[in-house]
A and B are shown apart, each in its own frame.
Chain A
Amino acid sequence: MYDVLIVGSGHSGGMAAATLTALGVRCLMLNAGPVADLERDRVNKSAHELPYRGFGKPGLHPHIFQANEYNANTWVDENEVPYTHPADASYNWVRVRLLGGRSLFWARQSFRLSDFEFRAADHDGFGENWPIRHNDLAPFYSRVEAQFKVVGRKEGWPQFPDGNFVEGGAGQADSECQQRITAAANKMGIGVSRMRAAMGDGGLASSVNLSLPQAVASGKLDVLPNAVVRQITTDPNTGRANGVIFLDRHTRQERRAKARVVVLAAGTLESTRLLLLSKLANSSGVLGRYLTDQQYGCTVVASMPEARDGKANPKLIGGGLFIPRFRNLRKDEKRNFIRGYALPLNTGSSPDPKYFPEYGEALQKKLASYAGSCVTGGIYGDVLPRYENHVRLNPNQTDAWGIPTLHIEARYGDNERNLCKDAADTMEELYKAAGLEVIVKSDKVNPPGYSIHELGTCRMGADPKKSVLNQWNQSHDVKNLFVVDGSSFATAGWQNPTMTILALSMRASEYLAAELAKGNL
């Protein structure tokens, strides 16, 4: 029997494995998909060498807007693991079942949550606080940032906590375009920083190259791919988890794996699906509830007139800017939305042809003129965690292994729409103040799930009647059951959640190992 059974191998599972095995805990990791060989399974190709010239097989991934013919083989096939949503509320559930999961593909943007998120209810009265504060997680953030080699610029802003950054964040001097946007933002009372990102190793910051190698090297981790878990098993006498039942992905043969502790790290909705299938950890009745994520899609694109017609150069234009949350930092700020958003800006790009209502030679000339002169801006917007946004099992549909699927019901509300409109208006004002010509402006967002940052449904909290997990990512109901992925989030924030998921997994795993050593689990 193993000490700990870890379901899932992405960032959260990889960190749990690395942390636990370093403390001498013997683990078995189950992953639903195969192991990719990053040398053998990827090849450089021109689009014309692909069967569909880069378009991809039509209709293959209808909910994955990020899919293209190059990466089409990495996403979960909806025919294999389907899900449903209301006809009027589309949801983009983007999944990867390769060993390493979505950690193989994330954009590496690395932020900490602040107490504006951890104590959000104290600040604006909506929802519940987390049972922890930034200070509780700060030491773990620091260790994760060092391991993932996060670069960034320290600002000392409370809504944008500084990290344990490695050298290498300082780039070349700001271009004139960057300076003009920064000056215009500062006049509007908005602070401008730089993107914070994990350098990882060789451009990859995944569990397969940063967490799992050390766990495997310890001799304390066994990794079993192609294991589709369908149920967490419990001891009928104690109610404690004692293992899982899984199916071989290819043969469908069922097996039972036993362990003293079960850690779920299958990704937000898969972990919750497994708890619902197992009828566990739901004395609160909120399992599956408070599904949230971050809204992406609001777009404002401008052009710097001085950089057109071949005059763009690194001194004039180029480089990124990052504007962390600046709205509703004061309790007395009166707006038609609560919480906030961040604005990632990029300067020196070329416009997408779709932005110009022209064709033929006129369009070609326009594109040539605007090449390199553009500034693009988007939004990382907070989404409120609402009870009605939820997932539940669908008794009428099963996946390729006969396991009931999820029905996902999530809608954005007025708060998200108003927040997005404010972001678009702010970017437009900012661009104009910086002397740029606005080409397109949209305050519309993609469907929920698009950001691939689904969070909540198994949230942590101080009150067992209102939450599924305690402050250690431990089930209130089943003490030897932990959930260490994004499902534990009580609020989403505007920040890419990866650093927080990693820090929470590390913290929970150290607590788990200590409790195991004391004989409490």
Chain B
Amino acid sequence: MPIPRRRFVLALGTVSTSPVVFAQGPAPLSAPRIVPVAPDQAAEPVLQFFTPTQFATLRHAASLLQPAYSNLPGAVEAAAPEFLDFLLAVSPAPRQALYRGGLDHLTSQAKLLFKKDFAALTAPEADQILKPLIVPWTFDPPADLHERFLTDLRADLRTATTNSAPYAAAAATTSRRGRGRTGAGLYWLPIDPTRR
């Protein structure tokens, strides 16, 4: 039976005037420690940025640019394309345009040269489109937008792959030299953000 509010407040007042009880503080809680599951383990992402054709192109390009190697997962196994779909959805407009334009260019080139979607190309066919767009490194990004897209895509796929949970799990069982760089470090939490 619930305690009437007035009696509850009075009871609180009684307790608060007792120095012995006050010094004891609250009783320790014994709630079990709950370890939450990672979203990637529990559910699959809903695509929100690329069109189905663009995503299929991205996924096929990912399989060629960053394949599985030496017992380590590639971009597809690391769900890098799905992650990039999320990342691009929250990116500034110029970057979104670069990616959309770049993927559309791969598709149009595939249709022009092979009369099919990029996602349907064999590896040697796709190489004929990708290789001319991979240019030697320069300090400034390539001026040509398609070259710039592929330069960024190659780097983004690599980072999204090596910083993924599947890669970290596989790298843990691989020699240091073999696994290369994996993403880990000292993370600074938000520190008393300004209240507005």
State the A residues within 8 Å of B (CB): 34, 36, 40-50, 52-55, 57-59, 69-74, 80, 98, 226, 249-250, 297, 299, 310, 350, 353-361, 364, 367-368, 371-372, 400, 440, 442, 444
A-B contacts, 15 listed (Cβ < 8 Å): A44-B186, A46-B183, A53-B163, A55-B156, A58-B87, A58-B90, A58-B91, A59-B91, A69-B187, A350-B180, A354-B154, A354-B155, A359-B64, A360-B67, A361-B67
Q: Enumerate chain A residues within 8 angstroms of B40, measured Cβ to Cβ.
A: 48
Q: Is the CB of A361 within 8 A of B184?
A: no
Once bound together, how far apart are the Cα atoms of A434 and B191, in whole Å? 48
Residues B154 and A98 in contact, CB atoms below 8 Å apart: no
Verify A57–B177 contact, CB threshold 8 A.
no
- Is there a chain A Cβ closer than 8 Å to B195's Cβ? yes
**Chain B residues packing against A (C-beta within 8 Å):** 38, 40, 64-67, 69-70, 83, 87, 90-92, 95, 130, 134-140, 151, 154-156, 158-160, 162-165, 167-168, 177, 180-192, 194-196
- Report yes or no: B191 in contact with A55, Cβ–Cβ below 8 A: no
Contacts of A355 in B (CB 8 A): 137
- Residues of the A chain whose Cβ atoms lie less than 8 Å from the Cβ of B158: 353
Please give, as numbers and ranges, the residues of chain B lying within 8 Å of A80 by CB-CB distance.
194
Contact A47 B163 (CB under 8 A): yes
Q: Which of B65, B137, B167, B190 contacts A354 (CB 8 A)?
A: B137
In the assembled complex, the Cα of A59 lies from the Cα of B96 at a distance in Å of 12
Complex contacts, B189 vs chain A, CB 8 Å: 40-43, 73
Q: Which residue of B lies closest to A354 (CB)?
A: B137
Residue of A34, A297, A360 contacting most chain B CB atoms (<10 Å): A360
Question: Ordered nearest first, which 9 A-B pairs have the shortest CB separation?
Answer: A47-B183, A47-B163, A444-B139, A34-B192, A58-B91, A442-B139, A48-B165, A45-B187, A364-B69
Contact, CB under 8 Å: B186 / A43:
yes
A354 proximity list for chain B (CB < 8 A): 137, 151, 154-155
Q: Are B155 and A359 in contact (CB under 8 A)?
A: no
Instruction: Give Cα A297 to B91, complex, Å.
Output: 26
By secondary structure, the A interface counts as: loop
Whether the pair B188, A73 counts as a contact (CB closer than 8 A) is yes
Known: A48-B183, A74-B191. 4 other contacts (CB 8 A): A42-B187, A44-B185, A45-B185, A364-B67
Contact partners of B136 in chain A: CB under 8 A: 357, 440
Task: Report A-chain residues with C-beta under 8 Å of the C-beta of B162.
Answer: 47
In the bound complex, do residue B92 and residue A58 qualify as a contact, i.e. CB atoms below 8 Å apart? yes
User: Looking across the interface, which residue of chain B has its beta carbon closest to that of A48?
Assistant: B165
Beta-carbon contact of B139 and A45 below 8 Å? no
Q: How far is the CB of B74 from chain A (nearest CB, A)?
A: 9
B192:A371 contact, CB within 8 angstroms: no
Nearest to A225 among chain B residues (CB) is: B192
Closest CB in chain A relative to B18 CB, distance in Å: 34
Would you call B139 and A359 a contact (CB within 8 A)? no
A303 CA to B156 CA, complexed, in Å? 25
> How far is B84's CA from A52's CA once the two chains are assembled, in angstroms?
10
CA distance A359 to B133 in the complex (A): 11
What B residues does A360 contact at CB under 8 A?
A: 64-67
Distance (whole angstroms) from the CB of B142 to the closest CB of chain A: 11
Residue among A34, A45, A46 with max Cβ neighbours from chain B (10 Å): A46
With A59-B91, A359-B130 given, is the CB distance from A70 to B180 under 8 Å?
no
User: A53–B184 contact, CB under 8 A?
Assistant: no
Q: Which single residue of chain B is at the shortest CB-CB distance from A226?
A: B192
Given contacts A48-B168, A359-B154, contact A70 B185 (CB under 8 A): yes
Residues in B neighbouring A350, C-beta threshold 8 A: 180-181
The contact of A53 among B66, B137, B160, B196, by CB within 8 Å, is B160
CB <8 Å contact, A46 and B184: yes
Contacts of B160 in A (CB 8 A): 53, 55
Question: Are B195 and A250 interface neighbours, CB within 8 A?
Answer: yes
A299 to B137, CA, bound (A): 12
| A42-B92 in contact (CB<8A) | no
Contact B187 A442 (CB under 8 A): no
Provide the residues of chain A in CB contact with B91, threshold 8 Å. 58-59
In the assembled complex, which residues on chain B have CB atoms less than 8 Å from the CB atom of A297?
139
Shortest beta-carbon distance from A400 to chain B in Å: 6
Assess the B164–A53 pair: CB atoms within 8 A.
Answer: yes
Shortest C-beta distance, A107 to chain B (Å), equals 16
Distance of A52 Cα from B183 Cα, bound (Å): 12
Partner of A57, one of B64, B90, B184: B90
Give Cα A442–Cα B138 distance, bound, in whole angstroms: 7
Determine the distance from Cα of A49 to Cα of B167 in the docked complex, in whole angstroms: 13
Tell me the minimal C-beta distance from B173 to chain A in angstroms: 15
Shortest distance from the beta carbon of B81 to any chain A beta carbon, whole Å: 13
Residue of A44, A59, A73, A440 near B137 (CB, 8 A) is A440
Query: CA A350 – CA B192 in complex, angstroms?
Result: 38
